[in-house]
A and B are shown apart, each in its own frame.
Chain A
Amino acid sequence: MDFMILSLIKLGLVLFIFMTALAYIQWIERKVIAHVQLRVGPKRVGPHGLLQPLADVIKLITKEGMVPSHVHPVFYYLAPFVAVFFALIPISFIPFGQANVKIPFTDITTNMELTDLNIGLLLILGLSGMGVYGIALAGWASNNKYSLIGGLRSSAQMISYELPMALALVSPLLMLNTVSLRELVNGQEGFYFNVIPRWTIFLMPAPQIFSFIIFMIAGFAETNRVPFDLPEAENELVAGFHVEYASMKFAAFFMAEYANMVTVCSVATLLFLGGWHPIVVPGIGNWIPALVHIGGGAICLYHGLVQPARKWDNITLPVFGVAFIGAGLLFAIPIVQELLAPVFWFTAKLLILLFVFIWVRATLPRFRYDQLMRFAWLFMFPLALVNLLITGLLVAATTN
């Protein structure tokens, strides 16, 4: 019974944080892209536009759900469900902290994840393969030439990029000898010479930098993000597979895209960047979360009180500054540190990778479709194969 209650609490917590995060990733994306392009970005709703996601959600829910008369109704309604279903499942078995953590003031121990699967990585691969049905079905059921082309492109693209992605994933599995996500992260613990972390991208005998890069590039293609967002290329396909979708059905595709981004970044973090292991040796590393938060708070206070650039900055920024410093002081308490520092490291790496996704979107133009396919089959695939071969040889040479 305890297990049930604990699981339900964890489920509620993860669901709430994940859903809020999905909404706010979009805010971060708009802000970052705006600043890259020398604009301000959303700032009307709430301080610095912080309530914009909430406003967007209310708008999308209350909007009229138009259904064009020429669609195939069953598949038209099914498609957004499929997309969002397969995008949201992976979070339920992605570990984000250590196992058997003792919750303070109780004698309950729990794992920092929802379920522990020993085939987690394979299941993520399988689900990401299923995710394409949402887009393909949406494209076909809309009964519209633009949507159909978008859906076709998407399925061809995802099949092609799944190959280099899977091959890139195999190399770290060879080195760490397991497919359980938790075991994979546990295998990356420790440091070389007390400086270089033993993450897979640095791990001897075959540092996996190439497979990390291949995986990230394939991840861009799998999530239909710029520069591989051919399925929804605005200037040739209007909006691609979701032309005919409005209101919550459109929001479902949007949410699925961001959830897929989070999944890809989580897998990259767990497999290549050492999951929740800190970047520096624990002695100093334990204090970094506190320092980062306090530093962020100090910057907010400085810009709010000393150099307010905009009208309300002398009120809003100090509030955030105090909140950040409070969080930083919380991280300085040893009990909390033990509990939350791994989660901090995991989230920090995840957010940095998400920032890379946004950064690339703000920087790079879109590929042409034939370039996209040629890149996958003639460059990424052979590179991933060669990388796998070299890794296999090195692992075989060192284990015996």
Chain B
Amino acid sequence: MDAILFFLFATITVICAINMVLQRHPISSALSLIGVMGSLAVLYLLLGGEFIAMAQLIVYSGAIMVLFLFVIMLLNSGAEPKRSRHKILLFLGAPLLVILLGVIGYFIQGQIPAQEMVKFGSWESGPGKPAFGSPQNVGMSLFTSYLLPFEITSVLILIAILGAIVLARKEID
């Protein structure tokens, strides 16, 4: 059951991701990106990371993508014109993509030993196993072991917000 769901949603993720690049209308691309975010949330759920799945759904599919859509709709940008490409780029592009994916795959394979592969439900609670993906545990590790990175990230986001306000203000005055 887990495997079926995994392959279903992994396929949806990949199709949506490819569709996002291929579509020429920004709204279609944004909707495909929502599809990617949503199916990623399901993949997290399959691992047992309940909190991270819901955070993915609330933050990425919910808040951030609404802002994307909002901006696209506000600018009311139409479909991109189709650009004519060189034939050489097409012939060179495909092999280069394969090489890139191969290199990335090789390094990832080297980083993670085969014995410690993440399994379905491996973040779930079980007999004698702490619930790694539960909101309680995520909160606990966020505010104890990873407090400094967490605080630095929030300061970073605050700076980004201030920067956005400053940049936006300039045009009005």
B36 in the interface, Cβ–Cβ < 8 Å?
no
Can you add 7 more A-B contacts, CB < 8 Å, to A152-B70, A152-B74? Answer: A72-B27, A75-B27, A75-B31, A119-B51, A122-B135, A130-B57, A159-B66
* Total number of residue pairs linking A and B with CB closer than 8 Å: 72
Taking CB atoms and an 8 Å cut-off, the chain B residues in 31-52 that contact chain A are 31, 34, 38, 41, 50-51
Q: Which of A75, A129, A151 interacts with B62 by CB under 8 Å?
A: A129
A7 → chain B, closest Cβ, in Å? 16
Taking CB atoms and an 8 Å cut-off, the chain B residues in 55-77 that contact chain A are 55, 57-58, 61-63, 66-67, 69-70, 73-74, 76
Separation of A125 and B56 alpha carbons in the complex (Å) = 12
Which of A20-28, A132-140, A274-282 is found at the contact surface with chain B? A132-140
Task: Return chain B residues, CB-CB under 8 Å to A122.
Answer: 50-51, 54-55, 58, 135
A203 in the interface, Cβ–Cβ < 8 Å?
no
A158 in the interface, Cβ–Cβ < 8 Å?
yes
A115 in the interface, Cβ–Cβ < 8 Å?
no
Separation of A122 and B50 alpha carbons in the complex (Å) = 9
Task: Return chain A residues, CB-CB under 8 Å to B51.
Answer: 119, 122
Contact A136 B66 (CB under 8 A): yes
Contact B70 A162 (CB under 8 A): no
Contact A119 B135 (CB under 8 A): yes
Contact A162 B63 (CB under 8 A): yes
A118 in the interface, Cβ–Cβ < 8 Å?
yes
Count B-side interface residues using an 8 Å CB cutoff. 23
Contact B61 A126 (CB under 8 A): yes
Q: Which of B34, B61, B67, B135 interacts with A179 by CB under 8 Å?
A: B135
A165 → chain B, closest Cβ, in Å? 11
Contact B27 A130 (CB under 8 A): no
Q: List 10 A-B contacts (CB under 8 A).
A: A75-B31, A118-B134, A122-B54, A122-B135, A129-B62, A133-B34, A136-B70, A155-B66, A155-B70, A159-B66
Count A-side interface residues using an 8 Å CB cutoff. 26
Contact A126 B135 (CB under 8 A): no
Q: Which of B27, B50, B54 interacts with A140 by CB under 8 Å?
A: B27
Contact B69 A159 (CB under 8 A): no
Contact B66 A133 (CB under 8 A): yes
Contact flags (1/0) for B20-31 with A, using CB distance below 8 Å? Answer: 000000010001
B109 → chain A, closest Cβ, in Å? 33
Contact flags (1/0) for A144-181 with B, using CB distance below 8 Å? Answer: 00001001100110110010000000000000000100
A60 in the interface, Cβ–Cβ < 8 Å?
no
With contacts A129-B62, A133-B66, A162-B63 taken as known, whether A119 is within 8 angstroms of B73 at the C-beta atoms is no
Contact A123 B54 (CB under 8 A): yes
Task: Return chain B residues, CB-CB under 8 Å to A152.
Answer: 70, 73-74
